[in-house]
Chain A
Amino acid sequence: MATQLKVTGADLELIDVRKDFPGFTALDDMDLHIPAGQFFALLGPSGCGKTTTLRIVAGLETPTQGQVLIGGQDVTSMKPHERPVNTVFQSYALFPHMTILENVAFGLRQRKIDDPVAKAQEALDLVELGHIAARRPQQLSGGQQQRVALARALVNRPSLLLLDEPLGALDLKLRRQMQIELKAIQMEVGLTFLHVTHDQEEAMDMADTVAVMNKGRIEQMGAPEALYDRPKTAFVSKFLGQSNLFVGKVSDSNDSSVSIEVGGYKVTVDKKRAEKHTGKIAIGVRPEKATFHTSKPNLSSDHVMIGEGEIIDIRFTGVSNQYLIEIPNVGEVTVFAQNIGKSPVIELGAKVWVSWKVEHSFGLADLPDGSEEQD
């Protein structure tokens, strides 16, 4: 790939940004800093404010209050065409009355860069579409249009590239392929990427840093592994992967760990993996970290054990089986067991005990919805 495109990205800073629309607040006093050269993903359900954030950075939306800084420069009052950012739109937004080549050359011509056609051709070669430069957007497949949109943005060597769910319209296989290509291009050109998506796998797969957004706020931000390993809120624990959550009052506490009582069982978490150490707290564990036993196991104190319970549902997903286990006074617990040819139980109604290592527990800062009322 062409190394001439290599540029240095700029960092992005949002300070206290707020956006009110009539009737609701899309962004609630958001602070965000994205270091230069990072692949940053904003992840959240629809309506969480992630696209509004992107549009504010692009200048297509004016924040109600707050500042936007790109590379240290305050761009809050700049119009979109004055900002050193380019966007890959969800619908690609290719100009239907121009050829592919003219689409890609558009930004270069606007800025009166020398030799726009040659540079546009080079950018098209980068996304391996050089041979169809003379065609019109309507004649291209979705995946090709996506790559043209990417080339049209990249050719301008923006300090910051904004991607608004650019892979959303593609089918699964093409999406995976584009994810790999996009990541490779980002590494190659060294730009700062701000990627907005609702696909948690896509975010974890591609980004250096993921920020999970909910209701106009960033709930948690960090490397994908860290976010998955230690979600800090109930929303993050459920939106990023699945979680079993247990809610109870702290019944036991020592130097290194705290325990709650749930339905007569003791659920323990390491103090350094818990946000709250007193009162009513929620402790969670990922389904693949838990295992179940067909007879009551004899485990040391570095394990949590609950049961007995009953298997009420089994789902085969290919690489694993998902077991839903009903435990009296506790509720339903999900356990994933890899399909390595020796699944311990495959019948519904079997009596089982569930256990996991204390080091895999995580303690949340808040409680899941609906658990405040029940005491």
Chain B
Amino acid sequence: MRKLAIGRFIFPLYALLALVFLLIPIVYTFVFSFNQARRRNTIWNGFTLDHWANVCSRQDLCDALGTSLTISFISTLIATILGTALAIALVRYRFRARSAVSLSLFLPMATPEIVMGAGLASLFFSLGIERGMFTVILAHVMFCLSFVVTTVKARVQMLDPTLEEAASDLYATPTQVFWKVTFPLLVPGIMAAALLSFALSFDDFIITYFNAGNVTTFPLFIYVAAKGGLPPEANVIASSVFILAILIVVATQVYGNLKKKRLALAK
């Protein structure tokens, strides 16, 4: 009995400690976004909402955020469109280079980022392409594409081809079949792929660092700023991104549960 009581006590404690350990950096970042910082934002000097109210008082920081959002949005858009088309082609059609394409899509996931970043940089250099926003977007599209294809492919494989046959049997042209049946059924997979792709692109440091030229993305800004002391506005943005991500996850869970309940009720 005694042994059991200890077990009952220890495991939750262990889990709690692990959770605290994981949360400390995030909580720290969040708390210090309210700090009345002096030159360095490392010592607690009292509570303020100034940084949240005027995030863009540091113009360079907001510019970097804007650049990152632009790059992530464009890369995600291109990678999602290309990746979805590729995923459908790989599942539905038999063509000559099919296995070669599958393999080459896997490579960016398997290659260390540092190798890919450096490789791309020397490629752009020898091609004479000036590094900047354009090269960063190219690089991001490249590595996001693999993740999009993998995610959407799983969804395409689950799609029953007779649904598309049924639509064409009901007078839908191939284009209409795609937009009225195939695409709506793939949307959950495409959305997941786009979110993943956006997160990867927004977060990327190593590949971006090698190929950015004069462009400063948010991660690059943080990296440089961290040397001289991070402004509290960076904490605000980091906390916002975290809260936004949590909200998205919670919303998806709640929506899924509601849908399940509604189906169960109707039955």
A-to-B contact residues, CB < 8 Å:
58-60, 79-81, 85-87, 89, 91, 93-97, 106-107, 110-111, 135-136, 138-139, 152, 156
Contacts and interface: CB of A to CB of B under 8 A. Distances in A.
A15 B169 CA distance: 22
B69 interface: no
A60 B164 CA distance: 11
B26 interface: no
By Cβ-Cβ distance, the 3 closest A-B pairs, closest first, are: A93-B166, A110-B171, A107-B170
B266 A81 contact: no
A117 to B, nearest CB: 16
A60 B165 contact: yes
Contacts of B167: 95, 106
Contacts, number: 62
B98 to A, nearest CB: 17
B166 A79 contact: no
A136 B181 CA distance: 15
A86 B160 CA distance: 18
A95 B180 CA distance: 10
Contacts of A80: 165, 168-169
Given A91-B160, A110-B176, A139-B263, A79 B184 contact: no
Nearest to B168: A80
Given A58-B169, A80-B165, A152-B170, 10 more contacts: A59-B169, A60-B165, A87-B169, A91-B160, A93-B162, A95-B167, A106-B172, A107-B171, A139-B263, A156-B170
Interface string B142-185: 00000000000000000010110111111111001000110011
A80 B162 CA distance: 13
A156 B169 CA distance: 11
A110 B170 contact: yes
A89 B165 contact: yes
**Most A-side CB within 10 Å, residue of B160, B166, B168, B173:** B166
Contact of A81 (B160, B162, B169): B169
11 contacts: A59-B168, A60-B169, A86-B169, A86-B170, A89-B162, A93-B160, A96-B185, A106-B167, A107-B170, A107-B171, A111-B171
Contact of A95 (B163, B171, B173): B163
Given A91-B160, A93-B163, A139-B266, A79 B185 contact: no
B96 interface: no
Given A135-B266, A139-B267, A93 B165 contact: yes
A95 B172 CA distance: 13
Nearest to A84: B171
Contacts of B176: 110
Contacts of A107: 170-171
A96 B185 CA distance: 8
A10 to B, nearest CB: 16
Contacts of A136: 263
Nearest to A140: B267
Contacts of A139: 263, 266-267
B148 to A, nearest CB: 21
A111 B170 CA distance: 9
Contacts of A111: 171
B24 to A, nearest CB: 43
